[in-house]
Structure 1
Amino acid sequence: MEATTRDLRLHTKEVLSATRRGEDVIITYRGKRTARLIPIDEERTQGRNPGFGMWADYQELDVDQQVRNLRRRRRFD
C-alpha cells in the first residue's frame, strides 16, 4: 500500500489497519518515497532488549565522571 503524508494524517486508522493485516505501507512526501511502515514482529519484541544492562558488570565505569566529561566545555585551540 502507498499513502501520502496527508493520508497518514487524515486516515491514520485505515493506514494502521493495513499494517495490522500484514501489509507494508510506503509513505510518500511530495511524490517521493520517504518512509515505510511495517508490522511489528511480535516474537522479536518479546523479552528483554539485548543491550539493556550490558555495562552492569563493568566495575571501572564512573558514571559521575562520564557525565562531567560530557558537560565539560570544549576547548578549540
Structure 2
Amino acid sequence: VHMKASILDLSRRMPDVLRALERNEPVTLLYRGKAKGMILSLHSAGRQARPVRENPAFGLWKDREELRDVGRFVRSLRDRRRAL
C-alpha cells in the first residue's frame, strides 16, 4: 500500500506525506490524475551516503590544464561575466 498525492496535496497534506515517508512508504505524485513521479524515503530507496571520491564523475576534469589553479579559473569566469 502506498500513498497517492496530487501536487495540491503536497502543500495541503504535507504532514501526511512526511508520515508516509517515515513509514518507508512510497508516495506517488499525481498531476491531473496521472502519475508523474514518486517520492521515496532515503531508507526505502536503499541510499546511503558514500564518499565523493566514489562518484564516477569525481576527477572528471583532472587533466584540464586551465583548472590546475581553480581560483584563477573562477576569477576568469567572473571577469568575463562582469565585462558583459
- Measured against the shorter chain, the TM-score band is 0.5 to 0.7
Kindly indicate whether the alpha-carbon contact (under 8 Å) linking 2:6 and 2:31 is maintained by their aligned counterparts in 1: yes
C-alpha RMSD of the superposition: 3.1
Letter in 2 for 1:48: P
User: Where in structure 2 are the equivalents of 1:1-77 lying within 5 Å?
Assistant: 1-41=3-43, 44-49=47-52, 50-51=54-55, 54-55=58-59, 58-63=62-67, 64=73
Rate the CA distance shift 1:61–1:17 in 2: closer, same or farther, 3 A: farther
Unaligned runs of 5+ in 2: 68-72
Deviations 1:30-74 (A, max 9, x none): 111111000103973334232388329x3543123xx76xx7xxx
TM-score normalized with structure 2 length = 0.59
Q: What's the % identity of the aligned pairs?
A: 24
TM-score normalized with structure 1 length = 0.63
Rate the CA distance shift 1:61–1:41 in 2: closer, same or farther, 3 A: farther
Q: How many pairs are equivalent?
A: 67
Rate the CA distance shift 1:62–1:35 in 2: closer, same or farther, 3 A: same
Unaligned runs of 5+ in 1: 72-77
Structure 1 SS opposite 2:51: coil
Name the structure with the higher helix share.
2
